[in-house]
Every structure is written in structure tokens, then in C-alpha cells.
Amino acid sequence: MSTTDKLRVAVIIGSTRPGRNGEAVGKWVYEIASKRTDASYELIDLLEVNLPFLDEPNSPAMQKYTKQHTKDWSARINPFDAFVFVTPEYNHGVPAALKNALDFLYKEWNNKAAGFVAYGNAGGARSVEHLRGTVAELQMADVREQVALSLFTDFENYSVFKPASFQEKKLNALLDRLVSWGTALKQVRGQQKG
């Protein structure tokens, strides 16, 4: 597989909150993923992207973007084939910044694979369940495998990230499936263009 054919996967840090755990978790995912040779990986931090609340007058499905930040976000997301969303669980749900970033676009997400690395009191499970519904509506295929990090066992004092050793194996299982599905969906997108 040449570098131009290589699957492109974005690891997206979904929290923008000061003092967040997401940055450490996202960097951990990216570091492990970067050791793999089955795809190229890139880290995207929504704090740096700094999107405002959705402010486009048209449905994202129309792709009639009027704001430069939306055009920039579209251009950033469009080239990727698959995504790992790193998400906390806030009040049994998805952080607003991540939901907002997803809502800005539509076609840029279509027929691409999604995986989840979550953290929280219950391993971020409820946030992931919300995200599964959202990505389904965006016509993404979400893989079953996920990494559920507990604030009690994978963080020291709820803030210093120290994942249990088995979590890396779970992450690699997620990435294996994500790359497989991402590769298949890349072919689907290619057939749609043809």
C-alpha cells in the first residue's frame, strides 16, 4: 500500500474544558496508533480548532458553508477515512464541543468508520451510546470495540492518566477493526464517485 493509498485516521480530542483529561488520553491513543503501519494517524484537538457554536444558516448536508471556520473544518475532516473520538462523559452525555464539531458537517463524515475511547465514572459508556446514535445519523459505521477508561482505576486522583496495562490491547483491537472497516468504506466511497 503506497502512502497515497494509505488509510488516514484522525484521533479527535473531544473535550475543550480547562484541566481536561482528554488531552492526555488523546496523546496516549495517538502514540500507540502512530507505532502501527496499517494507516497514517493524525491528532486533532478541538480546543485548537476552536469552533463557535453552530452558526451556519444552511443544513450541513447542503455544503453551502458561509463561514470560513466551517470551510476550514470541512477541509480538515474531508480527507480522513476513519476517526477515533476521544470523549469524556459529562452528565450522562457527550461534551458540547464534540457534538457541535460533528453537527457542523455532514457529507464529510459519510461512509467513514468511527471508534470511541471514552473516560468517566462509568468508563464514558453513556457518552459513547449517545455518540453511536449521532454518527449513525451522519452515515458513519461505528465499530463495536471501544476503550472504556475509568476515573477510578485508569487515573490517579481522577486526574493523572495511568491506564491499566490491558487498555493498550483493547485500543489495538479497536484500531484493528477501525482500519478494516475504514478500508472497506473507502472502497464504497470510491464506487460512489465512479
Domain boundaries, given as residue ranges, for the chain = 8-193
Q: What is the pLDDT of residue 193?
A: 73
Cα gap 82→41, rounded to integer Å: 10
Model-level pTM greater than 0.85?
yes
Q: What is the pLDDT of residue 83?
A: 98
Cα gap 101→134, rounded to integer Å: 12
Neighbours of 16 (CB within 10 A): 21
Residues of the chain where predicted confidence (pLDDT) is lower than 70: 1-4, 194
Domain 8-193 CATH (choose: 3.30.830.10, 3.30.1440.10, 3.40.50.360, 3.40.50.1110): 3.40.50.360
Total residue count of the chain as it appears in this document: 194
Cα gap 104→92, rounded to integer Å: 22
pLDDT tens-place string over residues 37-93: 999 999 999 999 999 999 999 999 999 999 999 999 999 999 999 999 999 999 999
Q: What is the pLDDT of residue 148?
A: 98
Q: What is the pLDDT of residue 134?
A: 98
Q: What is the pLDDT of residue 2?
A: 46
What are the distances in angstroms from CA 31 to CA 36, 134, 141, 148? 9, 27, 24, 18
